[in-house]
Amino acid sequence: MRVLVAILAFVFVSSTGFGKDLGPKPPGQFDYYLLTLTWAPSFCATHSDPQECGHDLGFALHGLWPEMVGGDYPTGCSKVALTDETRKQFQSIYASPSLIDHEWSTHGTCSGLAPADYFALSKADVAAIVIPPAYRTATTLAAADSDAVRQAFMAANPTLAADDFFVTTGNGRVTDVRFCVTKDDVFRSCSKQ
67-102 tens-digit pLDDT: 999 999 999 999 999 999 999 999 999 988 889 999
In this structure, is residue 187 part of a structural domain?
no
Which H helix or E strand runs over 187?
none
Domain assignment present for residue 186? The answer is: no
CATH number of the domain enclosing 114: 3.90.730.10
Instruction: Tell me whether residue 7 is in a domain.
Output: yes
Q: Provide the angle, in degrees to the nearest 10, between the axes of the packed helices 115-127 and 99-106.
A: 110
Determine the pLDDT at residue 121. Answer: 98
Provide mean pLDDT across the span 176-184. Answer: 97
Asked whether residue 191 is assigned to any structural domain, the reply reads no
Q: What is the mean pLDDT of residues 9-14?
A: 36
Contact 56, 137 (CB under 8 A): yes
Q: What is the pLDDT of residues 30-52, one digit of tens each?
A: 999 999 999 999 998 888 878 77
CB 185 within 8 A of CB 124: yes
Over residues 104-117, the pLDDT tens digits come to 999 999 999 999 99
Q: What's the pLDDT band for 179 if we cut at 50, 70, 90?
A: very high
Structural element, H or E, at residue 63: strand 59-67
Residue 193 lies in a domain: no
Strands 165-170 and 173-181: antiparallel
Into how many domains does the chain fold?
Answer: 1
pLDDT at 28 over 90: yes
- Residue 123 Cα distances to 25, 61, 89, 151, 165, angstroms: 24, 9, 11, 24, 18
Global pTM reads 0.88
Q: How far, in Å, CA of 176 to CA of 146, rounded?
A: 9
List the strands of the sheet with 32-39, edge to edge. Answer: 59-67, 32-39, 173-181, 165-170
CB 168 within 8 A of CB 175: yes
Flag whether 52 is in a domain. Answer: yes
Give the chain's mean pLDDT.
89
Give me the pLDDT at residue 64, please: 98
